Amino acid sequence: MIEPISQFESRKKEHIALALKDENEARGHSGLDQVQLIHEALPDLNFSEIQLQAKVLGKKRKTPFLVSSMTAGHAGAVDLNLLMAKACEARGWLMGVGSQRRELFDLEAKSEWKSLRLAAPNVALLSNIGLTQLIVATNDQIQELIDSIEAEALIVHLNPLQECLQNEGTPNFKGALQRIAEIVKSVKVPVVVKETGCGFSSQTLKRLTETGIAVVDVSGFGGTHWGRIEGQREQNSALKMQASETFSHWGISTTQSLLNASEFQSSYEIWASGGIRTGLDAAKALSLGAACVGFAKPILQAALNGEERLNQQMETLEFELKTAMFCTGCMNTATLKEKRRI
């Protein structure tokens, strides 16, 4: 059954409001506090020459940073997306758009993306669709989502816990691995598979090597937690509320997910997200093998406070990464990998 557009829009607004609440974040659980970079008291470097450039999706980028996919699909999100896209374009960050699910049943949704492209013609955008929609959509429909924003890649998001806990959820992932392999062959851009805050086990990462995907973004436990958010939305269902409480610590930490993924670096690129809150967290994730690091909640929070605050936040994250690089004696992001200590 197709959800009415008004209901769909109000769900998306609710998601944003709940994502901003502290209790819906698994703060302190990303495992990054236990990762220590080795301090270098005598770096043979000039801070001003430190290079943030990184190779992501086969291209040289100004930074290894990504605004992780966040909610689209309601009128208020248009301005927010425009703001984020312009900032990403100016600073050379990649930007994942929120789920394009609405485009599958509402043709008007496409016009939102047209204005985004006009405002930021050179930003590297990444399409986004949930696995459960991918399973039922046609290959042509998925290619249209990609074309509508001229995306550089397609992100398929996995959210089994959220699908179980939300009333509108469709917890049916049957045949998913094969469907991912099919879409990899069918679309004209690389495919990224990401979680949404619960991370990846070694076994799942191994299964994904059979699909031909280009990237896994681990999006591990330690940041925004959809189990917690959905529980708060289902206040009229004692069953869902209770289950949400039970699963409030469910997931594999971002650090553990990155360690699990290090084994598969020759099969696909590894990206880090989930509870990355500072440029130092990002430096640690890069040292654990990530080629790109994504932020969702910290960017949402800043963007909701306007352009100046958003730019401040992005600049702070870049400055903190550079500081971590200076204090570990790393001239570029690639050398960070040798500087880890757990």
Ligand X SMILES: Cc1cc2nc3c(=O)[nH]c(=O)nc-3n(C[C@H](O)[C@H](O)[C@H](O)COP(=O)(O)O)c2cc1C
Contact residues toward ligand X (CB under 6 A) are: 15-16, 19, 68-71, 98-99, 128, 155, 157, 194, 196-197, 219, 223-224, 273-276, 295-297, 300
If the CB atoms of residues 149 and 300 are measured against ligand X, the closer one turns out to be: 300
Least separation in angstroms between residue 128's CB and ligand X is 5
Neighbours of 122 (CB within 10 A): 10
Least separation in angstroms between residue 298's CB and ligand X is 6
Tokens 């059979």 locate to: 210
If the CB atoms of residues 117 and 277 are measured against ligand X, the closer one turns out to be: 277
Dist. CA 90–CA 94, nearest whole Å: 11
Nearest to 102 by CA among 90, 112, 92: 112
The answer to whether 195 and 218 have CB atoms below 8 angstroms apart is yes
Structure tokens at 125: 């955008």
In the complex, residue closest to ligand X by CB: 223
Least separation in angstroms between residue 294's CB and ligand X is 7
Dist. CA 300–CA 146, nearest whole Å: 23
Least separation in angstroms between residue 145's CB and ligand X is 12
If the CB atoms of residues 22 and 44 are measured against ligand X, the closer one turns out to be: 22
If the CB atoms of residues 62 and 277 are measured against ligand X, the closer one turns out to be: 277
The answer to whether 103 and 76 have CB atoms below 8 angstroms apart is no
Phi-psi region of 326 (alpha: psi -120 to 50; beta: other; left: phi over 0): alpha
If the CB atoms of residues 268 and 295 are measured against ligand X, the closer one turns out to be: 295
Nearest to 240 by CA among 161, 303, 180: 161
* Alpha-carbon separation of residue 115 from 86, 99, 121, 172 (angstroms): 12, 17, 10, 34
If the CB atoms of residues 257 and 328 are measured against ligand X, the closer one turns out to be: 257
